[in-house]
Structure 1
Amino acid sequence: MKIRLGCQLGYRINGSTTLVLNIQPAETPRQRVLHEVLRITATDGDGSGGGEGQAVPYESWTAAVTGNRYLRVRAAAGTALLVHHEAEVLLEPQVADPAGINEVPYAELPPEVLPHLWPSRFCESDKLQRLAWREFGAIAPGHGRVTAICNWVNDRIAYLRGASNPTTTATETLLAGAGVCRDFAHLSVAFCRALGIPARFVSAHAPGLVPPDFHAVFAAFLGGRWWLFDATRQAPLDALVRIGEGRDAAEAAFAEINGDAVPTGMEVHAEVTEGLDVAHGARTVGAVADVAEAP
């Protein structure tokens, strides 16, 4: 399928600032960027005077392990920074029968996935082991058990904007009983790891998401590869365009600010232009493999 997507981010730069952005879609065997436009401009003051602004230079690179695509931008004090990105992506999702996807015994896990079993900044899986085994230990291992985790999180955590902040952890979400997509993903990842299932955080563009925004889901390592899950049930998995991944949101944030800058606006869009109708929201399509996997 083809997906048209993009974002526009605004910042008021009060002091010399460096931003690291992870907003571009990853390029993988099953997710190809057909064309892409990136403009980063700055105007004097707060930008209220309008105008095109002056082009701001930036550095770009792709992380070797994750495939995350990064931009580093240096912004001068007293300016308004505007980041505009748009792209068209060809997505080739791989869908399988969940019943045939099993968990991998610890002794057989590839070494490179073992870090996704360890507790991380926002996913304190070591604190949730007793609860995880009490709630999910009797469920047959496999894709169905991770789906049961998603169901549990969806049933018990209210989706509520403003209920959390960028430092909220999985255990804090559990205690609060509310959060946003980032929190749903962190809690699900923590439960998976507590059960011995490697899991990682995934940031994405999500056609069909209302209101449009960057979305957070997660991937679990099952049957020798990574499979996508979304405990919020807000967008179809087979239309997700992967942006970044990491052990948690600390490694896949769409923006990191080093300096004195204040966000002034964010617009995000993602629409399927060919191959799938997502007008009626999320749907179940079976197990969907992370596009980072080879064909």
Structure 2
Amino acid sequence: MQRSASAHLTANVDSAAEVVLAVAVADGPRRTERLGVTLDGAPVAVHEVAAPHGGRLHLLAGLQPGTLRIDYEVEVDGLAEIEPHSPWHRIEYARPSRYCDSDKLMPVAQAEFAGLSGKALLDAVSSWVGSQLSYVSGASKPTDGAIDTYLSRQGVCRDYAHLVIALLRGLNVPARLASVYAPGLDPMDFHAVAEAYLDGAWWVVDATTLAPRPSLLRIATGRDAADTAFLTTLSGSLSLQTMTVTATVDDLPADDLTLLTALR
């Protein structure tokens, strides 16, 4: 499988700032890539920082006011190895988190999915969230969590993923969020999916069903969107102006929803 992805962003640096990017694909598959960052046309030093699950963050320090431009392009050949088992990750991703308040949603999860386990539970949660929510761009706020989404019954991909994760954790199934490039996604953008731990491996659960799971490319992985944002301002002030994301694959695969699929 040969996949290509790109992200092109421009932003105004309003005051001296330090910024972290999460736009590069995670370590794993063979890749050829280029990351270029300029401020008012002059190159900016980029420092790579290792993140969990092969993630690669890029730190931009000492930015002065001006126009920031970020250009990332990657060609990926083949698939990543399936992530090895880690007892710590099972513990970490069973706990409530900032956007996935599973402790509050536990009664809902127990009432809706009583008696289910294994793949049948993953399918039921994905189907329930997909049928209960309406995909509405701009309907949610950056601070909304799973409870907000459950009550409003609308949102975008990260809201779907947060609700899936919270419901699964409420049933003692470890679950986490992955930001991805998603060939076939329409409209094209960064995408977010849930991953659930079952039978010694992590499996993709995407209640939006907007892109085929076998072609997804991992960027960042964490408890929720707080760990996977494509751009984080550590200090100073920055305002995003434009963003263009692309993701393609040489042969867009079908997505057989009867099968468990790993993010590779």
Moved >6 Å (runs of 4+)? none
- Paired residue for 2:231? 255
Report if the CA contact (8 A) 1:238-1:285 is conserved.
no
Deviation at 1:211, TM superposition (A): 1.1
Q: 1:195 to 1:4 in 2, by over 3 A?
A: same
Report if the CA contact (8 A) 1:205-1:242 is conserved.
yes
- Paired residue for 1:264? 241
Report 1:213-292 matches (<5 A): 213-257=189-233, 258-273=235-250, 276-277=251-252, 284=257, 286-291=259-264
Relative to the length of structure 1, the TM-score reads 0.84
Deviation at 1:282, TM superposition (A): 5.8
- What is the CA–CA distance in structure 2 between the aligned matches of 1:173 and 1:252, rounded to whole Å? 19
Relative to the length of structure 2, the TM-score reads 0.94
- Paired residue for 1:60? 48
Q: 1:283 to 1:9 in 2, by over 3 A?
A: farther
- What is the CA–CA distance in structure 1 between the aligned matches of 2:258 and 2:125, rounded to whole Å? 18
Please tell me whether residue 91 in structure 1 is matched to residue 78 in structure 2.
Answer: yes
- Paired residue for 1:8? 8
Out of 22, 29, 32, which is 2:30 matched to? 32
- What is the CA–CA distance in structure 2 between the aligned matches of 1:199 and 1:168, rounded to whole Å? 18
- Paired residue for 2:103? 126
Q: 1:88 to 1:272 in 2, by over 3 A?
A: same
Report if the CA contact (8 A) 2:184-2:252 is conserved.
no
SS in 2 for 1:128: helix
SS in 1 for 2:93: helix
Q: Deviations over 1:69-125 (max 9, x none)?
A: 010113543310000000001233799xxxxxxxxxxxxx93431111100000000
- What is the CA–CA distance in structure 2 between the aligned matches of 1:226 and 1:66, rounded to whole Å? 12
Please tell me whether residue 42 in structure 1 is matched to residue 39 in structure 2.
Answer: yes
- What is the CA–CA distance in structure 1 between the aligned matches of 2:11 and 2:257, rounded to whole Å? 38
Q: 1:145 to 1:277 in 2, by over 3 A?
A: same
What count of residue pairs does the alignment treat as equivalent? 260
- Paired residue for 2:67? 80
% identical equivalent positions: 36
- What is the CA–CA distance in structure 1 between the aligned matches of 2:119 and 2:80, rounded to whole Å? 17
Q: Deviations over 1:246-292 (max 9, x none)?
A: 0111011111013211101000001112xx235xx86637211233x
- Paired residue for 2:175? 199
Deviation at 1:167, TM superposition (A): 0.7
Q: 1:181 to 1:269 in 2, by over 3 A?
A: same
Report if the CA contact (8 A) 1:234-1:282 is conserved.
no
Report if the CA contact (8 A) 1:236-1:284 is conserved.
no
Q: What is the one-letter code of the residue matched to 1:71? A: H
SS in 2 for 1:70: strand
Report if the CA contact (8 A) 2:215-2:252 is conserved.
no
Stretch moving more, 66-75 or 82-91: 66-75
Deviation at 1:138, TM superposition (A): 2.3
Out of 126, 132, 142, which is 1:156 matched to? 132
- What is the CA–CA distance in structure 2 between the aligned matches of 1:195 and 1:165, rounded to whole Å? 26
User: 5+ unaligned residues in a row in structure 1: which ranges?
Assistant: 44-52, 96-108
- What is the CA–CA distance in structure 2 between the aligned matches of 1:217 and 1:196, rounded to whole Å? 19
The structure whose Rg is larger is: 1
- What is the CA–CA distance in structure 2 between the aligned matches of 1:129 and 1:269, rounded to whole Å? 37
- What is the CA–CA distance in structure 2 between the aligned matches of 1:244 and 1:290, rounded to whole Å? 12
User: What is the CA RMSD across the aligned residues, in angstroms?
Assistant: 1.8
